[in-house]
Structure 1
Amino acid sequence: MRAAPASAFLLTLALAACSGEAPAPAPAADTPPPPPPAAAEDAPPTGSIAAREAEAEPSNTVNYDCEGIRITMAQEGEGADARVKFVVDGVTLDLPRAETAQGDRFADADGNAFWSHGTDEARLALQGQHERNCARVY
């Protein structure tokens, strides 16, 4: 009658092997717990690149098309201390406010000027070039 207990033992081992589950290893006493998941603020940005750039663009910028030259103009300061900055052909122009009878005009001593008329029209003069009409791009 010794065969019955041995058969039962072998049957138990065979069933355990067929289940495909390995016994869970016991955690080591000196192993630190895993780090918590990253915070929500560390999540990578989603959406299109253009959408992310639009969110990062300062609210004081205005886009213009000046007869084929596209500029994104940023105005800083107010009143007599106001100035505009924009990039043309890889060169950043920083123009201080200039006196004018109408509109907002910004110019430097080198002959570069930006003169806005209302909210949608402007003129751009670059050193040694003809003046260009500019239209605001929305």
Structure 2
Amino acid sequence: MRVVPGLLAASLGILLTACQPAAAPPAAATAADLPPPVPEPATEAAAASETAYRCGDLDVQARFVGEDAATVTIGERRFALHAERVASGAKYSDGKGNSFWAKGSDDGLLSLKGEPDRECQAQQGIEGDGSAGKAAFRATGNEPGWLAVVDGDAPGLQVDVDYGERRFEVAAPTAGADGWAGKAADGTDIKLSFQRTTCQDSMSGESFEAKAMLTVGARQYHGCGNFGGR
């Protein structure tokens, strides 16, 4: 029997098509083919604040870093403390018998190894957020830590220097265009001056309204300040 050439060619084409393997599915994407993940934005450093306390017979400067750590300075002594879990307030300790327990915004308890506990009270007008509150002017600086507050309608000038190791008061300082000056009770010359320009704290990065310079005797301290309600 003769096979028509055209019919034979068609039959062969059908057979060849049926014998072809199925097309492979597209390869799954590998990790190398995927776009890189978008990095998470870096978190900002925990805000720091400072508060000066009077704990029994001691002047204490407490620097809080968020809710995780605190540094307590007492004269030449400095304690690096870490947060502990407590029922109320915020307690920080170094695991060596030294701790500071902040109870509310103004009260605290200082415990030093080998010494009796001391009740603490935050000094008026020197909250750690830098606000001058009702004071005329409040200035602070670092390394060594110092604080100066001008308060009252007939202003007085209170000064703590060297992490609270030394304290001076000028009952009625002379007010000038750029600050206040007078003598402390022991005769030490005290002058607090300001320059109305933006100032950034060298440790916390907080912005203030003015640059400040404190002169105690022959020594100068530099920092930042804010004006308050008076």
1:96 aligns with 2:82: yes
Q: What's the offset of the Cα at 1:92?
A: 1.1
1:111 aligns with 2:111: no
Match runs of 1:125-136 below 5 Å = 125-136=111-122
Distance 1:97 1:125 in 2: 14
Match of 1:73 in 2: 62
TM-score scaled to structure 2, two decimals? 0.32
Q: Work out the percentage of aligned pairs sharing the same amino acid.
A: 24
One-letter amino acid of the structure 1 residue matched with residue 55 of structure 2: C
Q: Deviation string for 1:33-66 (max 9, x for gaps)?
A: xxxxxxxxxxxxxxxxxxxxxxxxx971001000
One-letter amino acid of the structure 2 residue matched with residue 62 of structure 1: T
Distance 2:73 2:48 in 1: 17
Q: What's the offset of the Cα at 1:85?
A: 0.5
Distance 2:116 2:106 in 1: 20
Identify, as 1 or 2, the structure richer in helix: 1
Distance 1:107 1:59 in 2: 17
RMSD: 1.7
Distance 1:113 1:86 in 2: 9
Distance 2:105 2:78 in 1: 23
Question: Structure 2 regions of 5+ residues with no counterpart?
Answer: 1-46, 125-230
Identify, as 1 or 2, the structure richer in strand: 2
Distance 2:94 2:48 in 1: 24
1:84 aligns with 2:70: yes
One-letter amino acid of the structure 1 residue matched with residue 121 of structure 2: A
Question: Structure 1 regions of 5+ residues with no counterpart?
Answer: 1-57
Distance 2:80 2:118 in 1: 18
Q: What's the offset of the Cα at 1:135?
A: 0.4
One-letter amino acid of the structure 2 residue matched with residue 95 of structure 1: L
